Amino acid sequence: MLLFGASFFLVLFVQEDFRKKLAAQMQLLLICSVLISFISAIMLFAFEAGLMGNGWSDVTNIPTWMLVFGTHFGTVWQWELGFAFLSCLALCLRNNRNSVLLIMASAQLMGLGFIGHAATHQGWLGGLQHANAAIHLLSAAYWFGCLIPLFLCSRLFYETEQSHDARFAMKQFSQYGHLVVCLVIITGIINGLLIIPTPYHWGALYLKLLTVKIFFVLGMLLIALYNRYILVPKIARGSAPSRKKFIYLIWVEWFLSLVVLLLVSLFATLAP
């Protein structure tokens, strides 16, 4: 998600001269995101082999790996591993590196919409569920991943040479942000309706953690609205305290989004 958001911001919101400076500041973030994504993809597949097999002994058992590759999860994960590996190779590119990384990250996120709870249904309803999950993942990745480059732009807001480019990038992010937040909420509701069986068992740990996640997302939404409609106009009028508060709230929002992702990674392993 960090890779997607950062690449998206660089490719679509930043003008050419400013892109080189911003990309240089984000180089370590991009490299770490690619490598962690690739390593964790391998580890997750190995753990899945252990879960489908006989425990820890099958985590590194190559024959068990081959059997897992024959399952629905394994078929999807072959593509996930492939895209993650191609992302590593893309780091060696001099031209169009960010564009290639954006494509690879998009493909990895959309692939996640074909496994786990997103694979609950079959037929046309299953296709709708896959598409909805993919849109939800991409939208959430935009919101989460773009906050880091947004923070970097906010630091350059008052620099004479980069002020115009930073303002332009932040404005572009804000314009698309309205649509993305709506997509996150709408697709999240649809996900819940498709995954959670009725009648709802509110005592289930899955629903408890999902409820906590919803409150954190609401917190993120309130911060985003406060930033956009209260702080940004003040920053445009040259208010230094508002700029400092804006930068602080970006980090608060990013922390809340990180908690949301950790909650999802937990209750995604539970039965709804």
pLDDT digits (tens, 9 = 90+) for 170-204: 889 988 999 999 999 999 999 999 998 877 777 78
Place of tokens 């002994």: 57
CB contact set of 27 (below 8 Å; sequence gap of 6+): none
Instruction: Assess if residue 239 is contained within a domain.
Output: no
CA pseudo-torsion sign 161, 166, 167, 172: positive
Which 3 state secondary structure label does DSSP give 245? helix
Cis before 199? omega within 30:
yes
Residues 248, 203: Cα–Cα separation, whole Å? 36
Confidence at residue 196, expressed as pLDDT on a 0 to 100 scale: 86
Instruction: Assess if residue 126 is contained within a domain.
Output: yes
- Tally the domains of the chain: 1
Confidence at residue 159, expressed as pLDDT on a 0 to 100 scale: 66
Q: How buried is residue 187: exposed, middle or buried, by Cβ count under 10 Å (0-12/13-18/19+)?
A: buried
Task: Return phi, psi of residue 120, to 5°.
Answer: -70, -40
| Mean pLDDT of the 42-55 span | 91
Beta-carbon count within 10 A of 260 CB: 21
Task: Check residues 20 and 133 and name the one with the higher pLDDT.
Answer: 133
Residues 204, 270: Cα–Cα separation, whole Å? 9
Q: For residue 18, what pLDDT band results from cuts at 50, 70 and 90?
A: confident
Asked if residue 64 lies in contact with residue 49, where contact means CB atoms within 8 angstroms, the answer is: yes
Which 3 state secondary structure label does DSSP give 22? helix
- Range in 102-106, 133-137, 227-231 the model is least confident about: 227-231
Instruction: Assess if residue 63 is contained within a domain.
Output: yes
Beta-carbon count within 10 A of 103 CB: 18
Instruction: Assess if residue 84 is contained within a domain.
Output: yes
Which 3 state secondary structure label does DSSP give 252? helix
Asked if residue 272 lies in contact with residue 206, where contact means CB atoms within 8 angstroms, the answer is: yes
Residues 143, 224: Cα–Cα separation, whole Å? 10
Asked if residue 35 lies in contact with residue 169, where contact means CB atoms within 8 angstroms, the answer is: no
Q: For residue 240, what pLDDT band results from cuts at 50, 70 and 90?
A: confident
Instruction: Assess if residue 96 is contained within a domain.
Output: yes
Instruction: Assess if residue 264 is contained within a domain.
Output: no
Which 3 state secondary structure label does DSSP give 256? helix
User: How many angstroms separate the most distant Cα atoms in the chain?
Assistant: 64
Confidence at residue 91, expressed as pLDDT on a 0 to 100 scale: 94
Place of tokens 């709708």: 128
Residue 110's closest CA among 77, 133, 84?
133
pTM, two decimal places: 0.92
Confidence at residue 105, expressed as pLDDT on a 0 to 100 scale: 97
Q: Could you list the residue range(s) of the whole structural domain that residue 75 is in? A: 2-195
Instruction: Assess if residue 68 is contained within a domain.
Output: yes
Instruction: Assess if residue 267 is contained within a domain.
Output: no
